[in-house]
Amino acid sequence: MVSLSEIQGLLSPVLTPLSRGYSALMSRRARRYAMGECEQFRPACPCLSVGNIGSGGSGKTPLADWLLKWADIQELSVVLLTRGYGAKPPHLPYVVGPHSPASESGDEPLMLARENPDARVVVDPVRKRSGAWASEEFSPDLVILDDGFQHMAVKRDMDFVLLTPDDLKDGWDRVIPRGTWREGKDALRRADVFFVKSGAESFKSMAGLVKDRLGPFGRPVFQFSLRAVGLKLLGGGDRLEFGSGKYVLFSGIGNPQMLVADAREYMGREPEKFIVFRDHHAYTDRDVEDIRRQAATLGAKRIICTPKDAVKLAGLGCDDFYVIDLEVEFLEALFFDGTAPLPFDKWWNLERLLNSSQQKEN
């Protein structure tokens, strides 16, 4: 089967001019916001944006989750504003609770709300509206703007911009429809911090490329990855070892092939079958029956999915399914200001957040 990137390459003579036109439109839009020509909401507290230049697979939700947990440790009241892709809330703005239906909240907001019960996760595609409402309702100490790099209607103090290794390689500066980027490379000048989702060794091997691509912007670049620490039953219980028995893997995420590679490493063997659903897929009883049937046919005793899939399986009788228990891990970094690089979790602190807010005000 021909991949999307191969199709885009074949159609490059047609798509490249369209890509340049789209990039120019996005640049003009960014200038209008920068010049104050478009209405914006400014939270009274510090505001962080977690976003990306491309689409999907950059680890945006795990990083947002890490920041919510960090804020909780700092005893900060935090609101996360998200559009809630695929959500159909009964009203807007909509505060996601740990027991909200995934159909109302969206899968990623529900996952964040369950993992961070003291945070307010607010769904609304109009985030300047939800930001104003949440500020009045909750008086937060920190606002996190989910998928916010292109969402300029909410002013932020720092832009955290995430990239994948492909963004730095073949995907560099390939804007929709020629590639997956939402803006051209000049947009990266707005970034305050860069993150690259990759393994530590892979990041070190790309150091020269990272310097060439991102060094001119003069911002710190942090590597992070998702470390699998075990399996958990959806029905609850202690963390389990991975083991090496037969298993079936399924997912409805943005970059499924990365999951296969990770699962192979964790389990020590290939899955008997990898069942791929579209990103943000809403699972049904029929899907579950089909997954069980395929696992039984192949003699696989474990059926494994991701945390993002797990939140959409409530009420479908999947307590015996397993979810991969993941932790965000920061190991490597590149700085371009002459200081010694530190991993993000050693570099980031409350003082740095507050200083960034004061600098923007001044």
Tens place of pLDDT per residue across the chain (362 aa): 566 676 777 778 778 989 999 999 999 999 999 999 999 999 999 999 999 999 877 889 999 999 999 999 999 999 999 998 888 999 999 999 998 998 899 989 999 999 999 999 999 999 999 999 999 999 999 999 999 999 999 999 999 999 999 999 999 999 999 999 999 999 999 999 999 999 999 999 999 999 999 999 999 999 999 888 888 999 888 788 877 789 999 998 877 777 787 788 888 889 999 999 988 888 999 999 999 999 999 999 999 998 889 988 988 999 999 988 889 999 999 999 999 999 999 999 999 999 887 776 65
Task: Tell me what pLDDT residue 360 has.
Answer: 65
Which one is the CATH code of 37-225+329-361: 2.30.30, 3.30.70, 3.40.50, 1.10.10? 3.40.50
Give yes or no for a contact between 240 and 228, defined as CB atoms under 8 angstroms apart: no
Residue-level pLDDT at 334: 98
**Consecutive H or E run containing 6:** helix 4-10
Q: What pTM value is reported for the model?
A: 0.90
The answer to whether 202 and 194 are in contact (CB under 8 A) is: no
- The verdict on whether omega for the bond into residue 109 sits within 30 degrees of 0, i.e. cis, is no
pLDDT for the residue numbered 238: 78
Q: What is the model's pLDDT at position 260?
A: 80
Give the pLDDT of residue 254: 73
CB 84 within 8 A of CB 125: yes
Is CATH 1.10.3210 what the domain over 229-326 is classified as, yes or no? no
Q: How far is CA 27 from CA 30, 188, 203, 204, in A?
A: 5, 11, 29, 32
Contact, 275 vs 294, CB < 8 A? yes
- Which pLDDT belongs to residue 39? 94
Sheet (strand 47-52) strand order: 94-96, 120-123, 78-82, 142-146, 47-52, 158-163, 193-197, 221-233, 322-334, 302-305, 247-251, 273-276
Cα 17 from Cα 288, distance rounded (Å): 44
Identity of residue 55: S
Q: Label residue 268 left, alpha or beta by phi (over 0 means left) and psi (-120 to 50 means alpha).
A: left
Asked if 213 and 172 touch (Cβ cutoff 8 Å), the reply is yes
CA distance 49 to 116: 18
Whole-angstrom distance, CA of residue 258 vs CA of residue 104: 28
pLDDT of residue 361: 61
Q: CA-based angle 356:354:341, to the nearest 5? A: 65
Q: For the packed helices 60-73 and 107-115, what is the interaxial angle rounded to 10 degrees?
A: 30
- Within the chain, all domains assigned CATH 3.40.50 are found at 37-225+329-361, 229-326
Q: Residue 329 — φ and ψ, nearest 5°?
A: -130, 130
- Are 50 and 64 a contacting pair, CB within 8 Å? yes
Q: What is the pLDDT of residue 243?
A: 75
Q: Where are the beta strands (DSSP E) in 76-157?
A: 78-82, 94-96, 120-123, 142-146
Q: 18 phi and psi, to 5 degrees?
A: -65, -40
Q: Which two tokens stand for residue 348?
A: 């980031």
